[in-house]
Amino acid sequence: CTQLLCTVVAKKRIPGQGEAVIVDAGVNLVPTVCYYDHDLHLTPDAADGREGRLSPVDIYGPLCMQTDKLRSQALLPELKVGDPLAIGNVGAYCHTQSMQFIHTRPATVLAGANGTELIRRRETWRDVFALDRIPDRLRSEGCTF
């Protein structure tokens, strides 16, 4: 099962709606959330006894658009800023459909019986712009791309 690991970066109570958290992965990395209910759970090492008390929480991604909502009313233990959250069954389709929108894409790590292996490094902004060519007349001083 392929999982995307993300981190809770903010938490807020929205009047009339309940709890909401923002994680550092959004629809740019998991475009299939529009039509598939991915399993969401705290990683086992982070659950620390909280797994029994579940309450509804809205999960948002970090993008600057209202459609960056990973799940409405997910039943999860109380989440804290810094908690690692696993999004299950993301598969290779999510990777090939992902986009570089506002954020670079994370590394891909293969985890199994033989340990963990990096199979794709994290993108850099230099990677994102590697194919672009800026005409000299449009370059600003100090431009390195």
Domain-located, residue 60: yes
> Is 1 among the residues known to form the active site?
no
Tokens of 20: 């909401």
Each residue's pLDDT tens digit, 20-41: 999 999 998 898 888 888 888 8
**pLDDT score recorded for residue 64:** 84
> How much is the mean pLDDT over the chain?
87
Domain-located, residue 42: yes
Domain-located, residue 66: yes
Domain encompassing residue 61: 4-101
Each residue's pLDDT tens digit, 3-13: 888 999 999 99
* Whether residue 95 has pLDDT greater than 80: no
Domain-located, residue 19: yes
Catalytic, out of 6, 64, 94, 143:
64
Domain-located, residue 69: yes
**pLDDT score recorded for residue 49:** 75
Domain-located, residue 130: no
Domain-located, residue 93: yes
CB of 45 closer than 8 Å to CB of 9: no
Which of the two residues, 145 and 93, has the higher pLDDT score?
A: 93
pTM across the whole model: 0.82
Which range of 32-46, 63-77, 102-116 scores highest in mean pLDDT? It is: 63-77
Q: Which residues contact 128 (CB under 8 A, 6 or more apart)?
A: 100, 104
Report how far residue 28's alpha carbon sits from residue 32's, in angstroms, rounded to the nearest whole number: 10
**pLDDT score recorded for residue 43:** 82
* Whether residue 85 has pLDDT greater than 70: yes
Sheet-wide strand order for 18-23: 40-42, 84-87, 4-14, 18-23, 55-60, 69-76
